[in-house]
Amino acid sequence: MKIYDISVPISPDTPVYPGDAGVEIIRTVEIGPESPYSLSKLVLGSHTGTHIDPPVHFFPQGLAVDQIPLEVFVGPARVVEMREGPAVTAAFLEGLKLPSQVERILFKTRNGDLWDKPKFQRRYVYIDESAARWLVDRGARLVGIDYLSAEQYGARDPKTHWALLGAGAVILEGIDLRGVPPGEYLLACLPLKIRGGDGAPARAVLIADS
């Protein structure tokens, strides 16, 4: 069994989507003469690093992150690689000859190279509306992308989020698939249980049989 950690580290250097809170890790207690332990205070946004977008992120009546059944986050998942093009499209997906039902799918793109850059990068591969609707039609419950948003940066309307979250699917954003070969895995992705959360950081791993 091989376990791939596809989560990005959370630190003050972690890039964040414009408008999101930056990361602060503040040591409030140090081990020393006055204390046998250390403590820290974390300041970060709900969409920091590797994180989940639940339906309530765009739909007030949608499920919050703590209301989503855990089986959505744990189960078989397919990693699909796309090295060319600005966006994952329905035409690209049609060419893959995927099964008629696609419950969990993660997209590995050239976005992986962006994790080596210290600041947020606006030109990243995204998932377009046609692909989102294609996946919804095939029963997708979780869709992942290897940068901080599934939506094109600066899009006038968030049609990809509307299509996926409006159908009750969740989006796993900010994963790092650079060391993961395309193929079939067991995904375990557990977001923080934030009551009513519009998003939550998660530790996500992929497990291969051999």
- 184-197 pLDDT, tens digit each: 999 999 999 999 99
Give, in order, the Cα–Cα distances in Å from 199 to each of 34, 65, 101, 134.
37, 6, 26, 24
Does the residue 80 lie in any domain?
A: yes
Does the residue 13 lie in any domain?
A: no
pLDDT at position 118? 86
Does the residue 58 lie in any domain?
A: yes
Given the residues 47, 51, 57, 161, the one annotated as active site: 57
DSSP H helices in the chain:
90-94, 129-137, 159-166
Does the residue 20 lie in any domain?
A: no
Does the residue 40 lie in any domain?
A: no
pLDDT at position 65? 98
57 among known catalytic residues: yes
Tell me which residue range forms the domain holding 67: 2-8+46-208
Does the residue 166 lie in any domain?
A: yes
Considering its fold, how many domains does the chain have in total?
1
Q: Is 126 helix (H, G, I), strand (E, B) or coil?
A: strand
Does the residue 109 lie in any domain?
A: yes
Does the residue 113 lie in any domain?
A: yes
- Tokens, residue 83: 């090295």
**CATH, residue 114:** 3.50.30.50
Give, in order, the Cα–Cα distances in Å from 89 to each of 6, 93, 205.
23, 6, 25
Residue 50 burial (C-beta neighbours within 10 Å; 0-12, 13-18, 19+): buried
pLDDT by residue for the chain (210 residues), tens only, comes to: 999 999 999 999 999 999 999 999 999 999 999 999 999 999 999 999 999 999 999 999 999 999 999 999 999 999 999 999 999 999 999 999 899 999 999 999 999 999 999 899 999 999 999 999 999 999 999 999 999 999 999 999 999 999 999 999 999 999 999 999 999 999 999 999 999 999 999 999 999 986
DSSP string across 165-185: HHTT-EEEES---TT--SEEE
